A and B are shown apart, each in its own frame.
Chain A
Amino acid sequence: MSPAAHDAAQYSFAVEYDGPPLSFDLPRAVPISVDNIPVAAVVSQVPLSDALALPVVQPLLPPQLHHPLRTLGSEPRVSKLASETTVSPTSVIAFDHRASQSNVGELSGELSSSGAVLDDGKESVDFNELNQQDCASTESVLSLEYPSTRVSSLKAEDIDAKRPPVVTFDVDSDDDALNEEFDVEDTASRPVIKRAPLTKGKKGSCYRCFKGNRFTEKEVCLVCDAKYCGNCVLRAMGSMPEGRKCVTCIGFPIDECKRGSLGKCSRMLKRLLNELEVGQIMKAERFCDANQLPPECVCVNGQLLSYEELVTLQNCANPPKKLKPGNYWYDRASGLWGKEGQKPSKIISPHLNVGGPIQPDASNGNTQVFINGREITKVELRMLQLAGVPCAGNPHFWVNEDGSYREEGQRNTRGYIWGKAGTKLVCAFLSLPVPSKSSNSLGEQPSSLASRTIPDYLEHGIVQKLLLVGCSGSGTSTIFKQAKILYKSVPFSEDEHENIKLTIQSNVYAYLGILLEGRERYEDEILGNLRKRQSSVLDTAGTSSKLDDKTVYSIGPRLKAFSDWLLKTMVSGKLDAIFPAATREYAPLIEELWNDAAIKATYERRSELEMLPSVASYFLERAVKILRTDYEPSDLDILYAEGVTSSNGVACVEFSFPQSASEETIDTTDRHDLVRYQLIRVHARGLGENCKWLEMFEDVEMVIFCVSLSDYDQFSVDGNGCLTNKMILSRKFFETIVTHPTFEQMDFLLILNKFDLFEEKIEQVPLTKCEWFSDFQPIISRNRPNSNSNSINNNPSLGQLASHYIAVKFKRLYSSLTGRKLFVSPVKGLEPGSVDAALKYAKEILKWNEERPNFSLSEYSMYSTEASSFSH
């Protein structure tokens, strides 16, 4: 068709044929005659029975485009029908679409990659290899699952145009090869692949359960951008060994645009996990290898960084903040730092050996003024002018890190850029960097000092653990109970109180049993003597007189029956099972028993009953009160009670020291009062001799070792069946613990317990009874006029002298074993003030240890005297 004809025919409907005559017939449309069209005839009325039901087509449900899967799954009644009979055009398209997606597997991979290539054309040519990466990512995802149509969004500012291609992606490679890449976490040569999530539901929903919308709170995977709702995040991300990443993404480098959120915990995570766990995950997220900035992404002065250079850059005193992949320039002499082609953004630490030499056109300036060989930008020039730097004649400046400048080739400094007060203001106005404060003069020192002064416990949730150990009978349980009573508002819970009550009551029954046993023995002794005398009388006189069984120790038949029964239960070992429960029944009897003269007489001779512990007299004197059903144990009762805490091997109490008004002002402002302490009491007997458990207490801050002073004349059977002095046993245990490798650098506080008992005892039994103390020769005791008189000012009592002597013995032993100083404190376990002082002393030691490193430069020097004044 000629163009002219075309033009003419522009508006015509059809053109008349004017070509050569045709040799054949043209088919022509025949007009329709309406009558000839066949029409269905009207059906004549057929008689139908009512029973016969015609098949009725169910009404079609409106096609649910958004949830085709759910429709199929959740409504099975309709589903069969719908899938067979629905011919709604929209649903056909939807199904087809899905089918093509799931069927075409490999094929659609090529499609989508070609699509990406097409996209390329629209964008600038610089993005070549990133799009290539993108192809890689979609392709790799395809090989795993069905394809996602999603193309990961790219942020232009993160893209580095000059970066050489890191990933070489072979489009023809088969699926196997790709699968391999996912199986192996090769961190050494980490491929920089931008991963896309494996599955994706409708927009805004959770990637795992496909529920929720864009407003539900979600956690995002740092690698593949998948979002999970609160119910799914822990399942999808597992234990998060590298922070918030899908399990399948572990080991892969993070999406660089999410670097800013590293270590920043979301509310959701805080809700789902406890604080320590969140801390741990955030720490892992920030510091694990896979999440570090890959060094090959950062280019300084046109040179890609090596790993070492990156570490230098990030660990310097004043590092560039929020380092992102990209091209930077760095002026070594002045520390100026900026993006390539842009003005400086920050002043970092100078003289770092990072990247190549700076290029003159690094910041793309056109002012012909040079600083350290870099042509500066207009903004900088303006700043220099405002700072009073003469910039006429296109000078070349040499600027040092302190801001001093001179012209190139000259020796004397012309001035300081930062010298004028207004300069920094100008810089802020022009959004130019100013040197940070910490980078001046001292260099790296302040930062390292700051990191050192942060105490360990801040990371451990501010609980300092004190381990309380000692041989059995050294009073560790008393000190433990005392600490509970001192520092807890509710020392013992209801249950504990009830248990303690029962324990005390059954203890008292046991004491009574011992007493009754003693009574029987005494009675027998006297009766025996009587009989002997009587028989001798009988022999001489030959007359039989009625045997008088009545002695001081005799009791009435009712009490006798009770006594027999009690002793029988004790022998059978069922005392614990019967007694506290039977208290109601026997309480009146006890009163009668206690008031009986025979028992009173036996009680007088209690020192002869070696089974009776020393605390028994305390309880027996209160027996009537204690064995009432409405008895409530007092704090003192609890302190005296045996067996209240020793039921299992270990017990602990957490407390903080209450602030008292008398404390110094320094103390009240001190963070130490916020610190919580955990006193852990270990029952040495139940824990074996080999101390295998000691390494579990590696994290304690201090060991408080308890020794009973009054043990020096006591004997006990040791592991080999030999009778050994208890003080020597304590010393052996002390040596074991002190020399244990776990406690190599541990502080020890020795508590010399039962000082009150000791003071009494030392007057009667010489300290030299224990072979370890054989060289104890107190000088002053001879000069004292009366051995019973207590200390006059400069005349300490024998007890004090002896306890000092024992303390020195232990200190010498300790320093010979470890070469360090032992802290010692004498304590009366039953006096609250004494225990309080000892535990506060422990606190002071801990505080002193913490402050010792920076002791010289702080005003806390007074602690040195304070701490030592406590030690004896």
Chain B
Amino acid sequence: MSVTELKERHLAATETVNNLRERLKQRRRSLLDTDIAGYAASQGRTPVTFGPTDLVCCRTLQGHTGKVYSLDWTSEKNRIVSASQDGRLIVWNALTSQKTHAIKLPCAWVMTCAFSPTGQSVACGGLDSVCSIFNLNSPTDRDGNLAVSRMLSGHKGYVSSCQYVPDEDTHLITGSGDQTCVLWDITTGLRTSVFGGEFQSGHTADVLSISINGSNSRMFVSGSCDATARLWDTRVASRAVRTFHGHEGDVNSVKFFPDGNRFGTGSDDGTCRLFDIRTGHQLQVYHQQHGDNEAAHVTSIAFSISGRLLIAGYTNGACYVWDTLLAKVVLDLGSLQNTHEGRISCLGLSADGSALCTGSWDTNLKIWAFGGYRRVM
């Protein structure tokens, strides 16, 4: 078969795929008679209202000297790990705002960090294309630095995102700029499976974010520069379970809905969307109309524990709290008192849902929680 013939066939196949995709899109549109907001409004639901003290900044975690890029809460205690461009990971006690660990990283360009489910170790990854694991209990060396306990190397591009598999300290999933996601076995330091890549039906651009389903840890979802999100089953590495189209820009952030049947995305097109993993439908678009200029990108998203609230950070410094049912902005953290001075780059909710932590390019982290008066009976 000659090269020209192959090229023709390839073109034809691409054409077919695009046609099918378009048909699928239209079919979906015809099936999707309403979105959540429309339905909720017809049911007479009213948006959540926020009192002045319902969400206030109650702690400022100061200690980084560079832009904060990522943060993660422990599952059991009130600890936070944060990663910053000053080349440090800091483990905080969120209640007392004390640092329990400050880990100097071999590569300063860190993009992501994660706490292990037991809270014994933290992982981070960045432009060095390696995911490094630090055991918090291991002794520090002379300079007070913690040694890397395991290097997970194998990615051919930057590590943009990492998350431990829930209830397992030994497995971790990373997303990378080499268009793949990898499930790692930390004890051996080897790749268990690679999702996507050259010859498989995976992302066609950098993976920017991953999120593991909280109720079924075999499933995880990834967001990518190819403007899609893909759902993966860790047992089937060869192809994605489902691909979610809809965004018109890079998908910067994906996060599973607390019930595990939906997930949210935040994108460079300035919208957040909610997708259903069972039907593959897009349930809702969360988009704030701005008058003239182009929309600010969404950098990071998080759901409240009930799922009623979606918190999204934007590149213009805003941080909206959306009512997921009615698709209305009910609060802007960026306009509150004591807010960040720079862009909010990462968000995270504590395991019990009582507090929100935001990390910003102004080098600080802030804890937001209910700030009203608790009357003791």
Instruction: Give the shortest distance, in Å, between B280 (CB) and chain A (any CB).
Output: 25
From known contacts A238-B98, A692-B177, infer whether A276 and B86 are also in contact, taking CB-CB under 8 Å: yes
Contact A281 B62 (CB under 8 A): yes
Whether, in the assembled complex, A215 has its beta carbon less than 8 Å from a beta carbon of chain B, the answer is no
Tell me the complex Cα distance, A503–B371, Å. Answer: 59
Proximity string of chain B (85-122) to chain A, C-beta cutoff 8 Å, 1 when within and 0 when not: 11000001000111100000001110100000000000
- For B337, the closest partner residue in chain A by CB is A187
Instruction: Give the shortest distance, in Å, between A81 (CB) and chain B (any CB).
Output: 39
Interface residue stretch chosen among B153-161, B228-236, B257-265, B323-331: B153-161
Contact B127 A650 (CB under 8 A): yes
Contact residues in B for A682 (Cβ distance below 8 Å): 127
Contact A234 B364 (CB under 8 A): no
Contact residues in A for B129 (Cβ distance below 8 Å): 648-649, 686
Contact A687 B158 (CB under 8 A): yes
Whether, in the assembled complex, A183 has its beta carbon less than 8 Å from a beta carbon of chain B, the answer is yes
Tell me the complex Cα distance, A176–B363, Å. Answer: 36
Proximity string of chain A (665-701) to chain B, C-beta cutoff 8 Å, 1 when within and 0 when not: 0000000000000000010011111101100101100
Tell me the complex Cα distance, A689–B158, Å. Answer: 12
Contact residues in B for A652 (Cβ distance below 8 Å): 108
Tell me the complex Cα distance, A698–B61, Å. Answer: 23
Tell me the complex Cα distance, A234–B93, Å. Answer: 12
Contact A235 B98 (CB under 8 A): yes
Q: Which of B284-316 contact A (CB under 8 A)?
A: none
Contact residues in A for B127 (Cβ distance below 8 Å): 648-650, 682, 687, 693, 696
Whether, in the assembled complex, A240 has its beta carbon less than 8 Å from a beta carbon of chain B, the answer is yes
Instruction: Give the shortest distance, in Å, between B142 (CB) and chain A (any CB).
Output: 15
Tell me the complex Cα distance, A682–B63, Å. Answer: 28
Whether, in the assembled complex, A629 has its beta carbon less than 8 Å from a beta carbon of chain B, the answer is no
Proximity string of chain A (243-260) to chain B, C-beta cutoff 8 Å, 1 when within and 0 when not: 000010010000000000
Whether, in the assembled complex, B225 has its beta carbon less than 8 Å from a beta carbon of chain A, the answer is yes
Tell me the complex Cα distance, A239–B95, Å. Answer: 12
Instruction: Give the shortest distance, in Å, between A850 (CB) and chain B (any CB).
Output: 22
Contact B63 A239 (CB under 8 A): yes
Q: Which of A178-207 contact B (CB under 8 A)?
A: 180, 183-185, 187
Residue with the highest number of chain B CB atoms closer than 10 Å, among A238, A276, A652: A238
Whether, in the assembled complex, A221 has its beta carbon less than 8 Å from a beta carbon of chain B, the answer is no
Contact A690 B62 (CB under 8 A): no
Instruction: Give the shortest distance, in Å, between A836 (CB) and chain B (any CB).
Output: 26
Contact A696 B85 (CB under 8 A): yes
Whether, in the assembled complex, A621 has its beta carbon less than 8 Å from a beta carbon of chain B, the answer is no
Tell me the complex Cα distance, A652–B109, Å. Answer: 11
Tell me the complex Cα distance, A686–B371, Å. Answer: 45
Whether, in the assembled complex, A832 has its beta carbon less than 8 Å from a beta carbon of chain B, the answer is no
Contact residues in B for A689 (Cβ distance below 8 Å): 205-206
Tell me the complex Cα distance, A686–B179, Å. Answer: 10
Whether, in the assembled complex, B178 has its beta carbon less than 8 Å from a beta carbon of chain A, the answer is yes
Contact residues in B for A650 (Cβ distance below 8 Å): 107, 109, 127-128
> Out of B62, B97, B208, B375, which one reaches A284, CB within 8 Å?
B62
> Out of A234, A250, A686, A698, which one reaches B158, CB within 8 Å?
A686
Whether, in the assembled complex, B53 has its beta carbon less than 8 Å from a beta carbon of chain A, the answer is yes
Contact A686 B160 (CB under 8 A): no
Whether, in the assembled complex, B193 has its beta carbon less than 8 Å from a beta carbon of chain A, the answer is no
Contact residues in B for A280 (Cβ distance below 8 Å): 62-63, 65, 363
- For A273, the closest partner residue in chain B by CB is B63
Contact residues in A for B177 (Cβ distance below 8 Å): 649, 686-688, 692-693
Tell me the complex Cα distance, A698–B67, Å. Answer: 10
Residues of B within 8 A of A (CB): 53, 60-63, 65, 67, 69, 85-86, 92, 96-99, 107-109, 111, 127-130, 153, 156-158, 160, 177-179, 205-206, 208, 225, 250, 337-338, 363-364, 371, 373, 375
* Additional 18 contacts, C-beta under 8 A, given A650-B109, A650-B128: A184-B373, A239-B63, A247-B97, A276-B65, A648-B128, A648-B130, A649-B158, A686-B157, A688-B178, A688-B225, A690-B225, A692-B160, A692-B208, A692-B225, A693-B158, A693-B177, A696-B69, A696-B127
Residues of A within 8 A of B (CB): 176, 180, 183-185, 187, 234-235, 238-241, 247, 250, 276-277, 280-281, 284, 648-650, 652, 682, 685-690, 692-693, 696, 698-699
